[in-house]
Amino acid sequence: MNDAPDTTGLDLSAAGPARDRGELFTLEAGAYRAEISSVGAILESLTIGGRDLLVRSPETGPMQFYRGAIVAPWPNRIGDGTYTWDGQEIRTALTEPERGNALHGLVCFQAFSPTALSEDELVLRTELFPSPGYPFHLLLTVHYALDPQEGLTTTVTARNLGAQDAPYGVCPHPYLVAGTEPLDTWSLQVETGTVLTVTEDRLLPTGTAPVPPGGDFDFRTAKTLGPLFIDHAFTDLGRDGQGRVVVSVSAPGGTGVELTAGPECPWLQIHTGDRPEPENNRRGLAVEPMTCPPDAFRSGTDVVRLTSGAEHAASWSLRGW
């Protein structure tokens, strides 16, 4: 089978000029508009009626703070950048050197090629070749579909092109924007049963703890964030009748944004976006549905074993009001 992208007859008229993050593709449906870069398949922006639902990166230079990234083949971080898979010790580069971790996978800054493009749909594809830090061979396909009622749905599919089983995980990295008001005034609603406890210095897991009713992380009923700091992963998530976890963030003025994810994402990272720079501090709420938790390549928790020739798909959606 030839897995190279087939761009024969592909209309790239919607792609913008050359830029630091590759081609920029624009999708439109009803009041929604989405912009996606070919580098990293980054979701640069999503708007409804012209209102931003996500924090953007600056127009020039690399993506900032992984805003809108597709994070694979592992979400979050690997402590010491070292993990063992089927008896083989593997060491990957430390991309978070201040904490001694390998952060957010390998494809955030990799070029993707378009294989389908229309007014409301885009498919991007990249091949992740074996490297010393990840000696496995994957084909990654990112499908963006924009709907005038449901908003933007993203599906990431990984296929193992190699001969050996591969460890795998994936998540998105959007910073949600509920409205023009400060983040401290926004309300968050999501049902979480268990929180992953982590070290303060390196944010590496130390165990799990129940989320107590009425505690800081109890958002089963919508609650104002205030000055609360969150940079935690949660599991045992409440789900709707379709098996989806639903995260709703609303602003006092009546606007809001909602993220949903399917059962293939049993973990959820939430971060209030605290930064030392005033211009970047608490600008959006990072909400990341994950197929496995932080440091999963070392713990083995919920890591997908992708056998030779097998595929894994994960989906999530964003809508605003």
Q: Which residue has the higher pLDDT, 1 or 285?
A: 285
What are the backbone dihedrals phi and psi of residue 183, each rounded to the nearest 5 degrees, phi first? Answer: -55, -35
pLDDT at position 91 over 60: yes
Q: Residues 211-254: pLDDT tens digits?
A: 999 999 999 999 999 999 999 999 999 999 999 999 999 999 99
Q: What is the 3-state secondary structure (H, E, C) of 252-293?
A: CCCCEEEEEECCCCCEEEEECCCCCCCCCCCCCEEEEEECCC
Pairing of strands 192-198, 175-176: unpaired
pLDDT value, residue 7: 46
Domains with residue ranges and CATH for the chain: 24-182+272-320 (2.70.98.10)
Percent of residues, the chain, with pLDDT higher than 70: 94
pLDDT value, residue 16: 47
- Average confidence (pLDDT) over 145-162: 98
Which residue type does 198 have?
V
Percent of residues, the chain, with pLDDT higher than 90: 94
Distance separating alpha carbons of residues 138 and 147, to the nearest angstrom: 29
Q: Residues 249-268: pLDDT tens digits?
A: 999 999 999 999 999 999 99
pLDDT value, residue 1: 38
Query: Sign (positive/negative) of CA torsion 150, 189, 232, 270?
Result: positive
Phi-psi category of residue 61: left, alpha or beta, with phi > 0 → left and psi -120 to 50 → alpha: left
Q: Which residues contact 150 (CB under 8 A, 6 or more apart)?
A: 317, 319
Q: Residues 11-64: pLDDT tens digits?
A: 544 554 579 999 999 999 999 999 999 999 999 999 999 999 999 999 999 999
Q: Residues 281-297: pLDDT tens digits?
A: 999 999 999 999 999 99
- Average confidence (pLDDT) over 115-138: 98
Place of tokens 């993050």: 21
Distance separating alpha carbons of residues 27 and 118, to the nearest angstrom: 8
Burial of residue 86, with CB atoms counted within 10 A of its CB: 0-12 exposed, 13-18 middle, 19 or more buried: exposed
DSSP string for residues in 125-182 = EEEE--BTTB---EEEEEEEEEETTTEEEEEEEEEE-SSS-EEE--EEE-EE---SS-
pLDDT at position 3 over 50: no
Q: What is the pTM of this model?
A: 0.93
Q: Are 101 and 202 in contact (CB under 8 A)?
A: yes
